[in-house]
């Protein structure tokens, strides 16, 4: 079924669905498109925060290669065998390195390697020779990148991104709840207006019947029937307009509560179960202003954004520092091979430790016996000259931070104004309720009095119908005042940032 078909069928629906405001709000938070989009933004921010931790993942690097080469040597002592211009070498090497960035800004690594080298050179006592190594390296920044570096900055920035996305989700949820509440009370007002229009039309039809009876009794002229007849038709037009307004109000609420037009509730008639009548409570403006400063998600968003700019400034200033790193490494190596003393030239005497004679196992044994240690400790120093790019980055970051501070000041002023306007609107709506109720009582009294005079022959259709219209207008004014008061309560809670808290809603 297409969306246009569903829209066409909606006015023909007859199934009724009682609906409380809490049910409407729950449906909207679960299915509203805007809320679902903001939830995805939070999910994406969580993913980025987890991804930023990847800078501290252990990196595994493995190299395995085999090489055959014969290098040209311009020397009488090349060690080349008879008839060759240079000795040939065959080498197989495998290396494995584990490295990890630490939260101190240091880079630590551990590596191991093993090499098998075979040669026909005359000056190599081992053929093949097995070389092994195992070592650790550490490079710790002492100035630049000691307190902060790009990896730690990214980690904190993505965490603040998550806070900003959460604040935006909260804001969207608050906006959605406010829209639902306004639409709900708009539907209540539309349904009550329809009832008023129906009642007013019934009164006009009754007045027409009374006039018809008088005409038949020869106590009224036939022309007296024209005015109530015209009034019936006029009120019928108002009734049709009220029906249209009700359908529109119902659809507006439904659109906030569904994710597609296939939802069964779209074809149902919504019957609001909550009444707009509410006790009038005084407005504590100072408390509302304090709540707004504490709870408005826009302020939380800007605060997180300002913290991000502070991090960028700190990182940029860090780049002005010279680089001075502590460098340390410790490596142990092993060597072993098959001794080829009989092939050495010039009858060189060879006296090597017995531990070097053997295969790869002997090479590892010599390595762990630490017969060939290698320890390095030192300082690496690097001073950038000029640093114009870095200074430009600092100036840009500071400008961004000032812009955020200016936005924060403007946001505080705007929020305070919104709270004050909402408080004024609520107080005005409360006063309108009292005035509307007094007007309704007066209109009811006047209509009864005019009907009594009409029955006594002291009034006319014109005055009775006028009093009926006055009553309908007073009823509509009271309906508007009641629903506007509830809407004003929503606006004040939205402005003060307490809407979700007041409604007991928690956004996960």
* Cα angle: 19, vertex 23, 29; to 5 degrees: 135
Taking the C-alpha atoms of residue 189 and residue 248, their distance in angstroms, rounded to an integer, is 12
Are 17 and 270 in contact by the 8 Å Cβ rule? The answer is yes
Q: What is the pLDDT of residue 479?
A: 94
Q: Which of 382, 407, 428 is the last residue before a domain boundary?
A: 382
What is the C-alpha separation between 471 and 469, in angstroms, rounded? 5
Of 353, 382, 411, the last residue of a domain is 382
Q: Are residues 162 and 301 in the same domain?
A: yes
342 part of a folded domain: yes
Give domain status of residue 481, yes or no.
yes
- Of 25, 36, 502, which is closest to residue 288 (Cα–Cα)? 502
Q: What is the pLDDT of residue 66?
A: 94
For 126, other C-beta atoms within 10 Å of its C-beta total 20
Q: β-pairing, 269-272 with 16-19?
A: parallel
Q: How far apart are the C-alpha atoms of 364 and 132, rounded to whole Å?
A: 6
Q: Which is nearest to 433 in space by CA: 393, 481, 498, 472?
A: 481
Classified as helix, coil or strand, 319 is: coil
Instruction: Note whether 497 and 425 are same-domain residues.
Output: yes
Segment 74-100, tens digit of pLDDT: 776 777 777 777 788 889 999 999 999
- Tokens encoding 423: 């408080």
Task: Point out the domain boundary residue: 382, 406, 422.
Answer: 382
Question: Which phi-psi region, left, alpha or beta, contains residue 214 (left: φ > 0; alpha: ψ -120 to 50)?
Answer: alpha
As beta bridge partners, residue 329 has 137, 376
84 within some domain: no
Residues 195 and 163 in one domain: yes
What is the share, in percent, of the chain residues with pLDDT greater than 70? 94
Tell me, yes or no, whether 129 and 278 share the same domain: no
- 487 and 448 housed in the same domain: yes
Helical ranges in 149-270 per DSSP H? 150-216, 226-257
User: Which is nearest to 131 in space by CA: 403, 432, 384, 360?
Assistant: 360
The answer to the question of residue 91 being in a domain is: no
At residue 254's C-alpha, the angle toward residues 253 and 259, to 5°, is 130
Residue 156 and residue 288 in one domain: yes
Question: Residues 357, 373: one domain?
Answer: yes
Q: Nearest-CA neighbor of 504 among 179, 166, 29, 122?
A: 29
Same domain, 359 and 463: no
Q: CA–CA separation, 122 vs 77, rounded Å?
A: 9
Same domain for 37 and 111, yes or no, is no
- In degrees, to the nearest 5, what angle opens at C-alpha 276 toward C-alphas 257 and 449? 140
3-state helix, strand, coil in the chain (%, to 5): 60, 20, 20
CA distances from 42 to 13, 158, 174, 300, 407 (A): 38, 11, 16, 15, 23
CB 87 within 8 A of CB 80: yes
* 414 in the same domain as 299: yes
**CA distances, 488 to each of 122, 277, 421, 424, 504 (Å):** 99, 13, 10, 9, 19
Q: Say how far apart CA 166 and CA 176 lie, in whole Å.
A: 15
CA distances from 95 to 61, 98, 335, 344, 363 (A): 8, 10, 16, 31, 15
**67 assigned to some structural domain:** no
Q: Specify if 188 maps to a domain.
A: yes
How many domains, in total, are found in the chain? 2
Q: Which burial class, exposed, middle or buried, applies to 170 when counting CB atoms under 10 A from its CB (0-12, 13-18, 19+)?
A: buried
The C-alpha R_g of the chain, in whole angstroms, comes to: 44
Shared domain for 203 and 303, answered yes or no, is yes
Could you tell me the CATH number of the domain that includes residue 402? 1.20.1600.10
What global pTM score does this model have?
0.80
**Nearby residues of 46 by Cβ (< 8 Å), 6 or more positions away:** 162
* Residue with tokens 């006028």, as numbered in its chain: 466
Domain annotation covers residue 418:
yes
Q: Is residue 361 situated within a structural domain? A: yes
Residues 300 and 331 in one domain: no
What does the DSSP assignment read for 45-105?
HHHHHHHHGGGGSPEEEEEEEEEEE-----STT--PPTT-SS--EEEEEEEEEEEEE-TTS
Q: Which residues of the chain have pLDDT under 50?
A: 1-13
Owning domain of residue 133:
106-144+324-382
């Amino acid at each position: 079924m297409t969306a246009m078909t569903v829209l066409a069928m909606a006015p023909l629906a007859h199934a009724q669905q009682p609906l409380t405001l809490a049910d409407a709000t729950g449906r909207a938070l679960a299915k509203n498109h805007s809320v679902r989009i903001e939830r995805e933004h939070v999910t994406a921010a969580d993913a980025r925060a987890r991804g930023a931790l990847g800078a501290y993942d252990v990196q595994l690097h493995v190299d395995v290669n085999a090489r055959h080469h014969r290098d040209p040597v311009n020397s009488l002592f090349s060690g080349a065998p008879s008839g060759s211009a240079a000795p040939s070498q065959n080498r197989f090497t495998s290396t494995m390195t584990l490295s990890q960035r630490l939260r101190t800004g240091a880079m630590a690594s551990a590596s191991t390697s093993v090499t098998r080298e075979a040669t026909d050179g005359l000056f190599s006592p081992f053929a093949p020779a097995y070389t092994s190594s195992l070592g650790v390296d550490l490079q710790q920044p002492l100035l630049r990148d000691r307190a902060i570096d790009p990896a730690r900055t990214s980690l904190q920035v993505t965490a603040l991104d998550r806070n900003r996305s959460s604040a935006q989700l909260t804001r969207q949820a608050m906006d959605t709840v406010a829209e639902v509440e306004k639409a709900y009370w708009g539907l209540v007002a539309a349904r009550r207006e329809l009832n008023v229009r129906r009642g007013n039309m019934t009164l006009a039809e009754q007045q027409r019947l009374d006039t018809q009876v008088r005409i038949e009794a020869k106590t009224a002229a036939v022309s007296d029937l024209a005015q109530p007849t015209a009034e019936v038709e006029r009120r019928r037009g108002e009734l049709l307009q009220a029906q249209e307004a009700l359908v529109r109000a119902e659809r507006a609420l439904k659109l906030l509560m569904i994710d597609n037009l296939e939802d069964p509730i779209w074809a149902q008639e919504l019957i609001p179960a909550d009444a707009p009548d509410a006790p009038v409570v005084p407005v504590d403006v100072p408390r509302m202003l304090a709540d707004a400063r504490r709870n408005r998600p826009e302020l939380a968003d800007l605060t997180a954004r300002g913290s991000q700019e502070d991090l960028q400034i700190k990182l940029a200033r860090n780049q002005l520092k010279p680089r001075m790193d502590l460098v340390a490494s410790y490596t142990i190596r092993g060597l072993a091979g098959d001794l080829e003393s009989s092939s050495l030239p010039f009858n060189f005497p060879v006296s090597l430790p017995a531990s070097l004679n053997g295969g790869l196992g002997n090479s590892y044994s010599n390595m762990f016996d630490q017969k060939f240690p290698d320890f390095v400790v030192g300082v690496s120093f690097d001073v950038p000259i000029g640093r114009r790019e870095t200074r430009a980055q600092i100036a840009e970051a500071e400008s961004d931070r000032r812009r955020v501070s200016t936005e924060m000041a403007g946001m505080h002023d705007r929020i305070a104004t919104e709270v004050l306007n909402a408080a004024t609107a609520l107080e005005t709506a409360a006063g309108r309720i009292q005035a509307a109720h007094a007007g309704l009582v007066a209109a009811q009294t006047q209509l009864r009095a005019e009907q009594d005079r009409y029955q006594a022959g002291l009034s006319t259709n014109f005055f009775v119908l006028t009093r009926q219209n006055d009553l309908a207008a007073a009823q509509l004014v009271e309906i508007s005042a009641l629903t506007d008061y509830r809407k004003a309560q929503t606006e004040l809670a939205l402005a003060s940032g307490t809407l979700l808290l007041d409604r007991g809603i928690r956004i996960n």
